[in-house]
């Protein structure tokens, strides 16, 4: 006997909401209703709602609260455009470079270089 063919709702639901509990919460139904929709098919609007939700919400660990709205990424009513994200990345890289520089300065060789510079500068002032 051949296995029952899965409905398009079943495949859509498995891609978007990995478990039945999430799908039930999203659609506002209970788990037995989700199981029935998996076997018999679901109303077109239920499948469309899942697809719309998938386009708007980011369903990945660590991205809770982030959504796409009107071509921009949003979190807590702040719009994040590609330029903003790239600037944040550049600033983080610059902070990393400055921290590495500070670490070098506070090492023994860094302190020796600073001391030599100060001595040389003070010596020039004294002999003028």
The whole-model pTM stands at: 0.50
**Residue that wins the pLDDT comparison between 126 and 34:** 34
In a domain, 75, yes or no: yes
In a domain, 38, yes or no: yes
In a domain, 29, yes or no: yes
In a domain, 2, yes or no: no
State the residue range of the domain holding 107. 83-126
Burial class of 22 by CB neighbour count within 10 A (0 to 12, 13 to 18, 19+): middle
Number of domains in the chain: 2
**What end-to-end distance do the CA atoms of the chain give, in Å?**
103
In a domain, 70, yes or no: yes
In a domain, 105, yes or no: yes
- Please state, in angstroms and rounded to a whole number, the distance separating the CA atoms of residues 58 and 69: 11
In a domain, 3, yes or no: no
pLDDT in tens, 79-127: 888 888 899 999 999 999 999 888 877 788 777 887 888 888 777 666 6
Claim to verify: residue 55 and residue 105 sit in the same structural domain: no
> What's the mean pLDDT in 31-39?
91
């Amino acid at each position: 006997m051949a296995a029952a063919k899965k409905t398009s709702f079943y495949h859509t639901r498995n891609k978007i909401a990995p478990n039945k509990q999430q799908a039930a919460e999203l659609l506002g139904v209970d788990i037995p209703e989700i199981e029935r929709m998996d076997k018999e098919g679901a109303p077109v609007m239920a499948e469309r709602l899942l697809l719309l939700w998938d386009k708007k919400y980011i369903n990945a660990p660590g991205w809770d609260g982030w959504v796409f709205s009107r071509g921009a990424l949003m979190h807590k009513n702040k719009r994040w455009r590609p330029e903003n994200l790239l600037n944040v990345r550049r600033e983080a890289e610059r902070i990393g470079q400055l921290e590495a520089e500070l670490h070098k300065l506070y090492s023994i060789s860094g302190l020796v270089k600073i001391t030599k510079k100060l001595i040389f500068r003070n010596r020039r002032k004294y002999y003028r």
